[in-house]
Amino acid sequence: MKPFYLLLLLLCIGCYQPQRNCEQFRTGTFTFEAMLGTEVETTTFVRNDTLEIDYFRGRADTASIRWINDCEYIVKKLNPKNRAEEKAIHMKILTTDGDNYTFEYNIVGDSKKAKGTATKTSEKSL
């Protein structure tokens, strides 16, 4: 009888899908904190359906956005200052929880991925 319960447990766990209400994170004002060296740095970004403006260390950068589906989009800087900034970034919302979402990102064509969490601070968009 124990194998039956184990199988039932595995089926229940295998069917679990994390919450992904991506539509509410398509537009608005957000913050993202990241550890750079030994300090936590905060980026604020404002996004609408096609544009995103990032504010970091007193500078603003504008990027275009192309949505692939409700939870994935491509970000490309409009005025890159070097070759590294010319590369597009693939963003994928993995889970949502209240005003937060966890995302995964990588340079398009690169297999190395990183994760982060952003917080929606306002409905205000561009």
Give the DSSP letter string of 50-79.
SEEEEEETTEEEEEEEEEEETTEEEEEESS
Please state whether the predicted TM-score (pTM) of the whole model is above 0.85. no
Query: What values do phi and psi take at 9, rounded to 5?
Result: -60, -45
> What confidence tens digit (pLDDT) does each residue in 43-73 have?
999 999 999 999 999 999 999 999 999 999 9
Amino acid 19: pLDDT: 74
pLDDT class for 12, splitting at 50, 70, 90? Answer: low
All structural domains of the chain with their residue ranges = 19-122
Tokens representing residue 37 in the block: 């060296």
pLDDT higher than 70, residue 106 = yes
Q: Which CATH class is domain 19-122?
A: mainly beta
* 6-21 as b/e: b if 16+ CB within 10 A: eeeeeeeeeeeeeeee
For residue 64, list its beta bridge partners: 51, 76
